Amino acid sequence: MELNLNMDLGSKSKKTSFDKQLKYDLLIIGSGPAGLNAALYGKRKGLVVGVIGKKSGGQVIDTTSVENYLGFEYKTGEDLVKEFKNHVASLNVPILGDAEVESVSKVGQEFEVKLTSGEIIKAIAVIVATGSKPRQLGVKGEAEFLGKGVAYCAICDGPLFEGLDVIVAGGGNSAVEAAIDLAKIANSVTLVHRSQFRADQIVIDKLNTLGNVKVMLETDILEVKGQALMSGIVVRDKKTGVESEIAANGLFVEIGYLPNSTFLKGTVEFNSRDEIKVNAACETSVKGLFAAGDVTDIPYKQIIISAGEGAKATLTANDYINRMK
């Protein structure tokens, strides 16, 4: 007798729609790498899973190229998200797209997730995987040249600028470390910051040893310029008021990220950056409420790490759900 190991995990010929009246075993908020992988693991565990996602794919969809995700030598962000979504769709996981969560409340032994539409969806356990968004400079041309020279992740997009001239905006550890990494492959790196360094002295000392790096402190970035692609930036020396232009092929904005966690303020414990505090098992300060990916306080905001954290969160949530049942 043959054993069907796939059991009833789903069929591509059958589509499952999101049922707002159903009480889910596991409700996942967010449809980026962490959320989608959490859903995949939940479905394979035999849980009744639902996903609420405002922006399918999260930040990955805006990434020019991905060359550090195991199994794919190169993918555009859009193509990688397509792979994720197709995999989850093959298991018929219901996804409520273009929906936004207003709040999450624990009522007795279950959770009520309230949408901005006023609708309430119930679940035994919830995973928050809403990710983050890069903090922007807010200058003219920044949005226009996104993906055409302007980037927010040196690890992700740095290899595209090999042998070229680039600029790093920021003065904290992430900016200085990005400049150090980019100096290994770029022709030149100019680090521009509006005040003094906030980075640790040890990384500043390392930066100062690099011959192809120039540092401009007390300097405001006013505009990103170019035509089809970015060609440089306009800056102003804060001490003299003199404006000048720096020619460059790329601008890496490394001034931090803003976690998409506002709707949980007062519900779970945050750190000083408003990231959700989790332990090694992705548990938050509220039993039954888990979190994974860039919205949490885990270090290294990378696609593969977020996906792994999503899997971990579901495995922990599955144990919790089994105990509750």
Task: Please confirm, yes or no, whether 156 is among the known catalytic residues.
Answer: yes
Catalytic pick among 19, 25, 98, 153: 153
CA–CA separation, 256 and 27 (whole Å): 29
Catalytic pick among 156, 181, 274, 297: 156
> What number of CA atoms fall less than 13 Å from residue 70's CA on the CB side?
4
CA–CA separation, 308 and 292 (whole Å): 9
CA–CA separation, 210 and 47 (whole Å): 53
Task: Please confirm, yes or no, whether 319 is among the known catalytic residues.
Answer: no
Catalytic pick among 62, 157, 282, 294: 157
Task: Please confirm, yes or no, whether 157 is among the known catalytic residues.
Answer: yes
Enzyme catalytic residues: 153, 156-157
